[in-house]
A = this chain, B = another copy of it.
Amino acid sequence: MKRNSRLSLALHTLGHMAGDPDRMRTSADIAEHAGTNPVVVRRVLGRLRKAGLLDAEKGHSGGWRLARPPQDITLADVYLALDESLIATMAEEDAPNCSVEHALHRKVSSVMEDIERSLIERLAATTIAEVK
């Protein structure tokens, strides 16, 4: 349901980087490769940097590089770094007095949490070094 190209961009870039981990790439290079804008690249990759997946350096010969060996970065790491559940969360409780609404919310939320856990488990089984 989510219309989000951020995960695609992040995975694509990391998958590319995994093929030559020592090379430094600028946001302009990455943007051209991915068909988007350097600022968008920095927005997305910035979250991966804060999560410790990437390092960024400014100035001449600066750019982006993997912060860890590619076989130590799983798809779940990327998913969690972006902090945007692909699983829709239920709306918050509006009518706390009604048992129907309460039971529904609890039920659906519980299912969603299980599903999200399961998704992360599945994503954690693959590293970006395996997707080339």
Contacts and interface: CB of A to CB of B under 8 A. Distances in A.
Interface string A1-36: 111110110011001100100000000000000010
Contact of A115 (B104, B119, B132): B119
B2 A107 contact: no
Contacts of A132: 99-100, 103
Interface stretch (A44-52, A60-68, A86-94): A86-94
Contact of A87 (B3, B75, B87, B104): B87
Binding site secondary structure of chain A = helix
Copies in the complex: 2
A101 B11 CA distance: 9
Contact of A15 (B12, B19, B104, B112): B104
B107 A115 contact: no
Interface of A: 1-5, 7-8, 11-12, 15-16, 19, 35, 75, 84-88, 90-91, 94, 99-101, 103-104, 107-108, 111-112, 114-115, 118-119, 122-123, 126, 130-132
